[in-house]
Amino acid sequence: MREEVRDIERLEHMLEAMNVLIEYKERHTLEDAQADPVVYFGLVKHVEIIGEAVYKLTLEFRANHTEVNWGDIERMRHVLVHGYYKIRPCQLWETITIDIPELKPIVEQLIQEKRQNQGNSANSFAGRK
Q: Give per-residue pLDDT as tens, 3-32.
A: 656 999 999 999 999 999 999 999 999 999
**Is the pLDDT score of 93 beyond 50?**
yes
pLDDT of 36 reads 94
Q: For the chain, give every domain's residue range.
A: 4-118
Annotated catalytic residues are 77, 82
Exposure of 120 by Cβ count < 10 A (0-12 exposed, 13-18 middle, 19+ buried)?
exposed
- Which residue type is seen at 92? L
Residues whose CB falls within 8 Å of the CB of residue 71, separated by 6 or more in sequence, listed in order: none
Model confidence over 52-75: pLDDT tens digits?
Answer: 999 999 999 999 999 999 999 999
Q: Residue 56: how many CB atoms within 10 A of its CB?
A: 16
The half-sphere exposure of 62 on its side-chain side, counting CA atoms within 13 A, is 17
